[in-house]
Structure 1
Amino acid sequence: MKKLVFIACFLIGGVTFSNAQQTSPVWPGCENSEDIKECFNQKLSQHVRENYEYPQNDAGEYVRGKVTISFAIDENGEVVVNSIEGEEPQVKKAAKEMIMKIPDMEPGTLNGEADSRNFTVPFNF
């Protein structure tokens, strides 16, 4: 009998988890978009183009590099940088400053409750 109850609980838990309703964070201006994720990606690309400031070395040359940024849009719709990986410290710093300028947004939800969403994005600057 205990095994039957355990199996029933496992199956019900699995069905409940698989029916979880998730939504993505909503970037300002994407509220009425047909595809929220696509709009998010377009706004992020636009944000990078408009807000990344290339650092310069002591000779005045622009420093370039590759970075992978891991960040989250938390339960309050605010950006939290988890990590930045890359070779050039100046590029990593400029990338963090750019990501921190992402506007607050409507957070993603899980079953109707605000929920943090993680993103990992590679960039070549």
Structure 2
Amino acid sequence: MKFTLSALLFLLSCAQLFGQENACYENASGSYWPVKAGLKKTLTYGNNSYLASFKGDSVEFDGNYYLEETQTFSNGDVKARYWREENGAVYSWSQEKKIESLELPETHEVGTKWSSKDQEWTYEILSLTSTYSTPFCEFVDLLEVKTESSLRKGTVYNLFYKQGVGMVGLNVNGQPFSYIKPDRKVNEKSFIAYGCEDAGTSQEIDKCTNAKISQHIRENLKAPQSSVKGRILLNVRIDELGEVSEVTVLETVPGGEALEAEAIRVMSSLPKFIPAQVDDNQPIATNLKVPFRF
């Protein structure tokens, strides 16, 4: 059975904490989802990152006024999102569907449930005291919301909100996918495959590491005979020692158990890496997203 290995996605995840004063929004206070001109923050998003900023531009849709949030991605993409706050509740406007949906209710009680206007998304408040770790910060006392889409069966999203800041983390099926960066510049280095450390620039080192991982998969994967087709997405956790410590399935296809097992076996056998690092060469754990298309 043939398979295609899509581009590898790298995501640094919880490990050593970044303890510089106020780098982790320690003094922030206010609502869990602030909608206010002048606010800005940078978040990772898969293998990308984006700057989210409210510039104060107000736009009217269907009789309501929304603040425009500009999301400028590191790959050059720019997206506009529209939000408004009313009596503590936060609403979004979809330009594509021309509808408004509730994003966060006025009262925050565990067990509260709601749905988007088109019923595609469902939401539930799970906790007001959750924690979330990033390579830089340990956030506590967070509002945690679980959301699921009727178009993505089997995928669960957990969003974590800090008062005065907004979303600081997003997990997909229990694995980190997006997190907020500190409010000042820090140094990050991805994990490196041995033999790639002298490949040149950071981009060339990443390319070399990608190539070695892809080569390992091609040489070791023995895809079982199956009529199942589709995409399987794995999360490979590489610990502070540079070793694979866990492999989990983020996305799969019906009847794909044998394909999952083989993909997990191969990724679990990856050789040791030079671990990822942040500031002062502190080693940190890493999450590597690996999509397979069978």
Band of TM-score, shorter chain: 0.7 to 0.9
Amino acid at match of 1:51: N
CA contact (8 A) 2:237 2:286 kept: yes
List structure 1 segments (4+ residues) > 6 angstroms apart after TM superposition: none
Q: Return the match for 1:93 from 261, 277, 282.
A: 261
Per the normalisation by structure 2, the TM-score is 0.34
Per-residue deviation at 1:80?
2.7
| Corresponding residue for residue 119 of structure 1 | 288
Q: Of the two structures, which has the highest relative contact order with CA contacts closer than 8 Å and spacing of 6 or more? A: 1
Per-residue deviation at 1:95?
0.3
When structure 1 is superposed on structure 2, of 77-86 and 38-47 the one drifting more is 77-86
1:77 aligns with 2:242: yes
SS in 2 for 1:68: strand
- Once the two structures are superposed, residues 28-84 of structure 1 have per-residue CA deviations (whole angstroms, 9 ceiling, x without a partner) of 2212111221111111111111111112xxxxxx12543100112110101133421
- Tell me the distance in 1 between the aligned counterparts of 2:199 and 2:246: 26
- Tell me the distance in 1 between the aligned counterparts of 2:199 and 2:237: 21
- Tell me the distance in 2 between the aligned counterparts of 1:20 and 1:122: 29
Amino acid at match of 1:79: V
1:53 aligns with 2:222: yes
Identity %: 28
1:30 aligns with 2:196: yes
CA contact (8 A) 2:194 2:273 kept: yes
Amino acid at match of 2:283: A
CA contact (8 A) 1:81 1:96 kept: no
- Tell me the distance in 2 between the aligned counterparts of 1:81 and 1:91: 17
Question: Per residue, is there more strand in 1 or in 2?
Answer: 2
**Structure 2 residues not aligned, in runs of 5+:** 1-20, 25-181
| Corresponding residue for residue 270 of structure 2 | 102
When structure 1 is superposed on structure 2, of 46-55 and 64-73 the one drifting more is 64-73
- Tell me the distance in 2 between the aligned counterparts of 1:20 and 1:76: 21
SS in 1 for 2:193: coil
- Tell me the distance in 2 between the aligned counterparts of 1:94 and 1:82: 12
- Once the two structures are superposed, residues 66-113 of structure 1 have per-residue CA deviations (whole angstroms, 9 ceiling, x without a partner) of 310011211010113342131200000000000011101110101110
